[in-house]
Amino acid sequence: MKRKQSHNQRKIVNDPVHGFISIPDNILYSLIEHPFIQRLRRIKQLGLTSLVYPGAVHTRFQHSLGAFYLMGTAISVLSDKGYQISENESIAAHAAILMHDIGHGPFSHALEQTLIESLNHEDLSLLLMDKLNLHFDGALSEAIDIFKGNTDKQFLHQLVSSQLDMDRLDYLKRDSFFSGVSEGVIGSDRIIKMLEIRNNELVVEGKGIYSIEKFLVARRLMYWQVYLHKTALVAERMLINTLKRAKNLALNKKEVPAPPFLKTFLERRFCKEDFLSNPRILEDFIMLDDNDIMSALKLWRTHRDPVLAKLSSDLLNRQLLRIEISDTPYSETAIDQIKKEKKPVLNLTEEEMDYFVFTDHISNSAYNVGQENINILYKDGTLKDISMASDMLDHNAFAKRVNKYILCYPK
């Protein structure tokens, strides 16, 4: 990895979760200082989850620094165990984890389903990484290869993206800390100390099995208690419907006031080729953050369109729709009956009612067998997948994808 010379000095950041985080190299400090990374200060890690857990207002920037810290710890542990990781590879792995979230937009999942339908945040991250690489004169090429998995040392990619990566180890601990949900607390330091490498891939020492079990249990609990909490779910679906309505109006040439960078994505539909051929589109995306969405909601709360006005006002004032969750899908008959009951109250058309009465599904699995498995290394050298090695975890329960169905409607 080529160095870009700089006058920057070594820096230390004080993090509430991990303590002091050292930034060991000038290029890494320059990368952190770049506007693409600094933008993450203005994007909450958990979106609208602060409507449930008021403390959950931490940012993607904090999370990226936390994952960066854990990457340094993991590389130090593996190097001390005799595995060869050069200084350039270490810097590249640090850079890769710093950049792993740069493609996230404000309230990212809501944005991906409405304003930028043809690209997900991984696509956008790679586009932004390429721009960063140009800015740093090609110095990030190795980091991007590690991010993509185009590396001879596959374990470096796994530290960035796998079922036991530094991303997950940080966000579980961080989200637990800021939400106050103690079930998410994990022993990330112990897990990292138990890492080994076999066949060029990450594995975990046998004595670390209990820490991995707790990690998987914590992840399962955090999904159902925090990430898929019903209040956070209904708030996100209401935001999705608000943005859909705003975009529908804008595409039909109705006046929809909005901050200029948001207006770009309301008034046109873009595909990946548009982002590649027109640099201005990516530049406008880079300027988008949570503040643009919140400012727009304030503008829209008095809009002449009753759907946009009510959704925006209700979100700002936390007047959320009622939500029910079921193990089986809701019938069209039940949905139509609710619409029939609520329509006279809201005084909306049949099409407009779809923004306020709707169903959706959610799913989650704690562990995906066959996708870069977490393997346990025994003293005799044998490897066994955690789902088979554990005598505590129910293999079928943890590998099974749980599907639930939601129904939202006015109170």
Nearest to 241 by CA among 310, 289, 287, 323: 310
What is the spatial distance between Cα 153 and Cα 155, in angstroms, rounded to a whole number?
A: 5
Q: Where are the domains of the chain?
A: 11-229+369-403
Task: Please report the sign of the dihedral spanned by the C-alpha atoms of residue 252, residue 256, residue 261, residue 262.
Answer: negative
Say if residues 262 and 293 touch (Cβ distance below 8 Å): yes
The separation between CA 266 and the C-alpha centre of its own chain, rounded to angstroms, equals: 23
The separation between CA 339 and the C-alpha centre of its own chain, rounded to angstroms, equals: 33
From residue 259, give the alpha-carbon distance in Å to each of 35, 289, 291. 19, 11, 9
Say if residues 357 and 338 touch (Cβ distance below 8 Å): yes
Q: pLDDT 10s digit of each residue in the chain, 411 long?
A: 544 444 555 789 999 999 999 998 899 999 999 999 999 999 999 999 999 999 999 999 999 999 999 999 999 999 999 999 999 999 999 999 999 999 999 987 777 778 887 778 888 999 999 999 999 999 999 999 999 999 999 999 999 999 999 999 999 999 999 999 998 899 999 999 999 999 999 999 999 999 999 999 999 999 999 999 999 999 999 999 999 999 999 999 999 999 999 999 999 998 888 888 898 999 999 999 999 999 999 999 999 999 999 999 999 999 999 999 999 999 999 999 999 999 998 989 989 999 999 999 998 887 887 777 899 999 999 999 998 888 776 666 667 788 999 999 999
Helix (H, G, I), strand (E, B), or coil: what is residue 49? helix
- Percentage helix, strand, coil, to 5, in the chain? 55, 10, 35
Burial group, residue 34, by CB count within 10 angstroms (0-12, 13-18, 19+): middle
Q: Which helix (H) or strand (E) holds 19?
A: strand 19-23
From residue 65, give the alpha-carbon distance in Å to each of 4, 6, 172, 247, 321. 21, 21, 14, 34, 35
Q: What is the CATH number of domain 11-229+369-403?
A: 1.10.3210.10
Burial group, residue 411, by CB count within 10 angstroms (0-12, 13-18, 19+): exposed
What is the spatial distance between Cα 312 and Cα 299, in angstroms, rounded to a whole number?
A: 9
Q: What is the pTM of this model?
A: 0.93
